[in-house]
Amino acid sequence: DIRTGSLDTIFLGGIAFQLPDGAPPGEPVENGADFNLYDSYEQIQEKPYRHSVEYVVEFSQSLRGLVPGAPVEYRGIPIGHVKKILFSEMLNRAEKLSSSDPEKLGSGLPIAVLITIEPGRLGLPDTQDSVEFLKKNIEMGVRNGLRASLMTGNLLTGSLFISADYYEDVDTKEIGSFASYETIPTIHVGLGR
């Protein structure tokens, strides 16, 4: 039994039931179950999971077309989204570098991007234990060639997204740090510059 407002409410927007992208189907619902309602489809994609882990990825190429909310994918499977571009944090780093290593400042520092990865999108339980499991796997993955890259999502609009995948013949790296976040190493692939 679904209860809605007046017919005007239905005609002006109505209600649609849908799972967030990548969310596994749940159990059948009981009579009288409560549902969270969102104003838009985009809003449900923003934070459908309670547990997540944040990382920073840094790119030396143009970020034109990369916006907060852009997907983060692992081999084409949505696993999270771009939270924000850390431009002011990058400027703080540049300010510190200007006094300690002025030559490095003029070489064009990479721009840091904060991403959120949600274990629930990978079919793991939406728990803190899954976050810890995911962090250990990402750490081991980085040692084995896991890298993040910028990819073109739409040639017409120029939208970008972040892709994570394994690459052969890359230098062995470890999880790094930027501000208070851990970093995943990046690799330049594709057309964009």
Q: What percent of the chain has pLDDT over 90?
A: 46
Residue 193 has pLDDT above 50, yes or no: no
What is the model's pTM?
Answer: 0.71
Count helices and strands in the chain by DSSP H and E runs: 5, 8
69-84 residue pLDDT tens: 999 999 999 999 999 9
Residue 184 has pLDDT above 80, yes or no: yes
130-159 residue pLDDT tens: 999 999 999 999 999 999 999 998 888 889
Length, in residues, of the chain: 193
Q: CB count, 10 Å around CB of 74? A: 19
Closest CA to 54 of 42, 72, 67: 72
**CB of 164 closer than 8 Å to CB of 184:** yes
CA dihedral of 23, 29, 34, 40, whole degrees rounded to 10: 40
